[in-house]
Structure formats: structure tokens, C-alpha cells
Copies of this chain bind each other. A is one copy, B any other.
Amino acid sequence: MSALDDELDYQILTLLQKDGRMSFTEISKEINVAVSTIRHRYINLIEDGTLKIIGRVDPNKIGFNAYASILISVKPKSYMNTIFEALTKLPEISFLASVSGDFDIEANVMCRDMEHLNELIGEKIHVLEGVFDTKTNMYMKIYKFSQPDLELAKLSSKQNE
């Protein structure tokens, strides 16, 4: 791929990042390239996993009022994998990752209310073998929730292709 090719991908990604339903026709008008080219590029971006078009649902609007971060300390560490497996299945967990620092795992959870959150921690998380300690912090107000900035990304070359 040449530098110019990537530029086209970035332009397509930039537009679709904002409006995932923008038609190929409109995109092609916006960046002056044939519709079929846009479509080819689009299909490639989807197929290699760079882009995914999703409907993002506002948690507040559908009744999730308790958004929290649960930090988990695992002992012994040999339980890490089974704990990740179990946690991945919990529908309340929207983000799950291993982290550096005082704890081993961070799980972000969306619950209906405090009762639901409390129940989740006590009955679904603390019961897992290997969960040594947890620390829960509430997200009180969300100020920003955005996508990766493509302008910043441009400064580096494409990775993991």
C-alpha cells in the first residue's frame, strides 16, 4: 500500500466514524473518488477488522444508572485465565482487561442501579475462585466518550495488518 492509498482509507474511516450509515455515494462525492472504489476499500476495511459499523446505544436511555469500574486482585495468579473466562460471560461487563498496577484485572460494568451492582459483585464476582480482593469505583459523570483520533494515528504507520 502506498502513502496515498492509506490517505484514502483514513478519509473513509474519518467519515464513517462520525456517521456509520453514510452512503458510499455520499462518501465518494465528499472525497472525489469513484463509488466502486469506496466500496472496495470499505469491504477491505471491514474484512481485515479495521472497521466495524455498530449501533451505539446510550446506556442511560435504556435504564443503566450505575456505571462502575471494578478492580480485581487475583491470588494465586494461576487463576487468571479461568477468571477471565468467567468474567467475559457476564453481560454487565462492557470492558474487561488485564492491567498493570496494584490490581490485576479491570472490569467496567453497567448496572441498572446500586442494588444490581452490589448483587453482581457479591454473587457473581467474589464467588469466583482466585478472586482475592476487589475495589469498586463509580463513574459519576462522563465528560467524553469518543473514538480513537485518526489525525493522531496518521503520524504513525499502520500496524498489525
Enumerate chain A interface residues (CB-CB to B < 8 A): 13, 16-21, 48-65, 69, 84, 87-88, 91-101, 106, 110, 112-113, 135, 137-153, 155-161
Contact = CB atoms under 8 A, between A and B. Distances in A.
B62 A50 contact: yes
A33 B130 CA distance: 48
A52 B61 CA distance: 12
Most buried by B among A50, A110, A148, A151: A148
A146 B91 CA distance: 9
A63 B147 contact: no
DSSP class of A's interface residues: helix, strand, loop or mixed?
Answer: mixed
B99 A143 contact: no
Given A53-B53, A56-B51, A151-B91, A135 B61 contact: no
A110 B148 contact: yes
B55 A98 contact: no
Contact of A21 (B53, B100, B145): B53
Given A49-B61, A64-B153, A96-B144, A135 B54 contact: no
Given A13-B57, A20-B54, A62-B153, 9 more contacts: A18-B55, A20-B53, A52-B58, A69-B99, A69-B106, A96-B142, A99-B139, A101-B135, A110-B152
Given A57-B50, A159-B62, A99 B16 contact: no
Contacts of A13: 55, 57, 62
A99 to B, nearest CB: 5
Contacts of A100: 137-138, 140
